Amino acid sequence: MNASELRDKTPDQLRDQLTALKKEAFNLRFQAATNQLENTARIRAVRRDVARVMTTLNQKAADAAKSEA
């Protein structure tokens, strides 16, 4: 997932995606703790995707606040 894809989404879609990514991150942590995780790089990728989504949400909120003022 890249930032340009995220900018095209609505805040509600981004929140839904953030929820899904956080659930995936939890499941990956659980798999890592029980030594069942096969792709350890996925944890890093999911963490970065969460950060991208949160950054995009914050940017959209700032833009909305700026346009109201």
pLDDT in tens, 18-60: 999 999 999 999 999 999 999 999 999 999 999 999 999 999 9
Answer positive or negative: Cα dihedral of 33, 35, 41, 46: negative
pTM for the whole structure: 0.91
Q: What is the pLDDT of residue 6?
A: 95
**What CATH number should be reported for the domain holding residue 12?**
1.10.287.310
How many domains would you assign to the chain? 1
Tell me how crowded residue 42 is: count the other CB atoms within 10 A of its CB: 15
Q: Are 60 and 12 in contact (CB under 8 A)?
A: no
Q: What is the pLDDT of residue 53?
A: 98
Write out the residue range of the structural domain in which residue 59 sits.
3-68
Burial class (CB in 10 A: 0-12, 13-18, 19+), 25: middle
More confident site: 5 or 68? 5
Q: What is the pLDDT of residue 1?
A: 81
Q: What is the pLDDT of residue 46?
A: 98
Which strand (E) or helix (H) includes residue 6? helix 3-7
